[in-house]
Structure 1
Amino acid sequence: MSFAYMTSADFNQNPSKAKKAANERPLVITEHGEASYVLVRYSDFKDHWRKSKSLYDALNHSNSRFDDDFLADRTDFKRRHVQF
């Protein structure tokens, strides 16, 4: 995900420009060159940041790029010395 950046001084002078930028992608507001705040649309916030997911839900997502492409190598124990 890419971010847009704006200084806090620019944000204070032109908040409507900040809202327009946040419509496209999250807007990082910086103070003294360091990220301080992030402005996002409420719908994006609600859809992505407020939902808590279990690991199972995250990995079982229908659009996951990790669906059926993982094939583990078979393990061979013939050369291993096991002590009990």
Structure 2
Amino acid sequence: MRFTYMTSAAFNQNPSKAKKAASEHPLVITEHGEASYVLVRYSAFEENWRKPKSLYEALSDETSAFDEDFDPARTTFAGRDIEL
């Protein structure tokens, strides 16, 4: 999931711009460089945060940012003493 960022000062000066940005992606509002609030459309809120998903639904979610295959580094035993 992509996020859009906006400072709290920019949010206070132009809330309509913030609403427009939040209609496309969740908008993270920052204060002093730290994330403090998230603004999302209500439909996105209901879709993603209110309704609990089953494990199957979460794993098969096409919009997930974590859709890359798990590929761990290969472990070798070179340089290790093995006692049997």
TM superposition score category, shorter chain reference:
0.5 to 0.7
How far apart in 1 are the matches of 2:21 and 2:48?
A: 18
How far apart in 2 are the matches of 1:38 and 1:62?
A: 22
What are the Cα deviations for residues 54-83 of structure 1, in whole angstroms up to 9, with x where unaligned? 324434x485xxxxxxxxxxxxxxxxxxxx
Amino acid at match of 1:26: P
Gaps of 5+ in 1: 64-84
| TM-score of the two chains, using structure 2 as the length reference | 0.65
With over 3 angstroms needed to count, the CA separation of the structure-2 counterparts of 1:9 and 1:48, relative to structure 1, is same
Identity of aligned residues (%): 77
How far apart in 2 are the matches of 1:62 and 1:38?
A: 22
Runs of 4+ in 1 over 2 A off after TM superposition: 53-59
Q: Which residue of 2 aligns with 1:51?
A: 51
Q: Which residue of 2 aligns with 1:30?
A: 30
How far apart in 1 are the matches of 2:7 and 2:57?
A: 37
Q: Which has the larger radius of gyration?
A: 1
Amino acid at match of 1:50: R
Gaps of 5+ in 2: 63-84
Amino acid at match of 1:30: T
Amino acid at match of 2:32: H
